Amino acid sequence: MIIDGHNDLVLHRWRGEPSPHLDLDAAGDADFAGGFFALYVPSPRLPDPPPEIPYALPLPDPIPHAEAARIAEELFAALLELPVARATSADDFREGAVTAIVHMEGAEPIAEDLSNLERWYERGLRSIGLVWSRPNAFAQGVPFRFPSSPDIGAGLTTAGRRLVEACNSLGILVDVSHLNAQGFWDVAALSSAPLVATHSNAHALCPASRNLTDLQLDAIRASGGVVGVNFAVTFLREDGSLVPETSIGEIVRHVDYLVEQMGIDHVAFGSDFDGAVVPEELGGVAGLPKLVAALHASGYDHEDVAKITHRNWLRVLRDTW
């Protein structure tokens, strides 16, 4: 069974586009059991892929709450049309079926006073990424830069702190992916739940602003949390380049480093399928057995691979929900 930390299938369905990576018809043969399905409100103007190294891409403007809330309703409707179950318990995941965790990537659809948070919870929302890189009423994200530290900008706002506390109270996972360093440390100080980065990598191996430093990895381990390894080639490669021919071995390299830094109980998959350029060798969901085989070839036994592919996610979901 494979549970994954992030995909953007809903965005493509909302736009009426084909999915580049996540073919649900191929999920069964790949042992893909679902994971975090993002409700991501896109910016009207997105940064272009990095043309050369180094790069520092400007962030899109903030999106007003009313606009984000409207689009989030449409995205949620698109999710409901998918042939997937929705998870509100770790026990909802089953072999041979695809189950979606309703995940909000960027909290703009949540009112600053949190007045609609419980309604979203009642509809199945179980995970929130405070930001998608652009700033909002709750926090600041990291702009896309290479090479760069994630230590860019201020921490959580007062509303952001209240949102973290409310998520802890309700049992909504707080995702620190896309969050800047100060925001990360604010969440670490506030949250009573395990720290989770659904789709992030090791800054020591690829010094992109989106990746996590060793100190951040140590904090995630100490909290009992998990990092989902992102398959985006620009966050995998040491040179940060957009090279589709990148090997699956680069994913394994980050798995190896995170396991060494945090231990086998704190590493999982966070593919970013349908949201990034991933290694052509992997292709998409149908290529996941190749990645599993590469982990075995790298020396991971069946117990270790089971933790990376699904057991670590299930443990954190039980601890959080």
pLDDT digits (tens, 9 = 90+) for 193-236: 999 999 999 999 999 999 999 999 999 999 999 999 999 999 99
pLDDT at 49: 65
Q: What is the pLDDT of residues 16-28, one digit of tens each?
A: 999 999 999 999 9
Q: Tokens 């080639």 map to which residue?
A: 233
Q: What is the pLDDT of residue 189?
A: 98
Instruction: Identify the pLDDT of residue 60.
Output: 85
Contact indicator for 246, 233 with CB cutoff of 8 Å: yes
Kindly state the DSSP code that residue 179 receives in the 8-state scheme: B
Total domains, the chain: 1
Task: Give the pLDDT of residue 48.
Answer: 66
Rounded CA-CA distance 235/225 in Å is 20
User: What's the rounded Cα separation, in Å, for the pair 131 and 86?
Assistant: 23
Sequence letter at residue 221: R
Q: What is the pLDDT of residue 195?
A: 98
Q: Which residue has the tokens 């084909």?
A: 18
Q: Kindly provide the residue ranges of all beta strands, DSSP E only, lying in the chain, ordered along the sequence.
A: 2-7, 32-39, 55-56, 85-86, 99-105, 125-129, 145-146, 173-175, 196-197, 226-229, 267-269
CA torsion 143→167→36→1, rounded to 10°?
130
Rounded to whole angstroms, the Cα distance separating 241 from 279 reads 12
The span from the CA of 126 to the CA of 118, in Å, is: 11
Pairing label, strands 145-146, 55-56: antiparallel
User: 51: domain range?
Assistant: 2-320
pLDDT the model gives residue 50: 67
Assign 165 to helix, strand or coil.
helix
Mean pLDDT, contiguous 10-residue spans, the chain (321 residues)? 98 97 95 98 76 87 96 98 98 96 98 98 98 97 96 97 98 98 98 98 98 98 98 98 97 98 98 97 98 98 98 98 98
Nearest CA to 260 out of 230, 319, 300, 211 is that of 300
Taking a C-beta distance cutoff of 8 angstroms, is the pair 197, 176 a contact? Answer: yes
68 with 2: CB under 8 angstroms?
A: no
What's the CATH code of the domain at 94?
Answer: 3.20.20.140
Three-state DSSP class for 34? Answer: strand
CA distances to 70, 124, 273, 288 from 102, rounded to whole Å, are 17, 6, 16, 22
Instruction: Give me the pLDDT at residue 59, please.
Output: 85
